[in-house]
Amino acid sequence: MDFSLSDHQKLIRDTVRQFMEAEVRPLVKDLEREERFPLDIIKKLGEMGCCGMLTPEEWGGAGMDTVSYVLMLEEVSRVYTAMSTALGVTNSAVQRPILMFGTDEQKKEYLPRLASGGILGSFCLTEAGAGSDAAGIQARAVKSGDVYKLNGAKTWVTNGSDAGVYIVFAKTDPQAG
């Protein structure tokens, strides 16, 4: 079995590495000191295709393979790990559930904007009393007409203050476990 990278994968790796070294590395200390979220930089990475790498082209993504996606995350992490978390959540923890379980209307509304970096996605699972144990969460979602009303509190909400769409974990039937 050949584990060599394809020319396209090498190009992705090298392009992201060059961007991170030139555009991000000089800013990391300031971003950390100021506790500033690098939304403007993530939008630039979105323009490069890094925000929707696993999303099919029909929904505005790059439709790339998992190795290319991981190479991108690795190069971002090498320079600024927090940024790779923001990209990882947007790419996989948010777009994947929408792609797999969303309606066509939801896909049309959110996937192109997420894949382009126009908006970020947020993953809302962790709670103070349950950590990241989905079975132990207390947040509730109660159906009211055509919508669900949420009640609960989350912690460690990745991309929380800058996201445009949120995947929120909540129980609709606490008795079901």
Q: Integer distance in angstroms from the first to the last C-alpha of the chain? A: 44
pLDDT tens string 140-168: 999 999 999 999 999 989 999 999 999 99
pLDDT tens string 63-119: 999 999 999 999 999 999 999 999 999 999 999 999 999 999 999 999 999 999 999
* Whether the Cβ atoms of residue 110 and residue 90 lie closer than 8 Å to each other: no
pLDDT tens string 4-21: 999 999 999 999 999 999
What 8-state DSSP symbol labels residue 55? S
Work out whether the CA dihedral 173, 142, 163, 137 comes out positive or negative: negative
Beta-bridge mates of residue 122: 166
Predicted TM-score of the model (pTM): 0.91
pLDDT at 87: 97
Helix (H, G, I), strand (E, B), or coil: what is residue 115?
Answer: helix
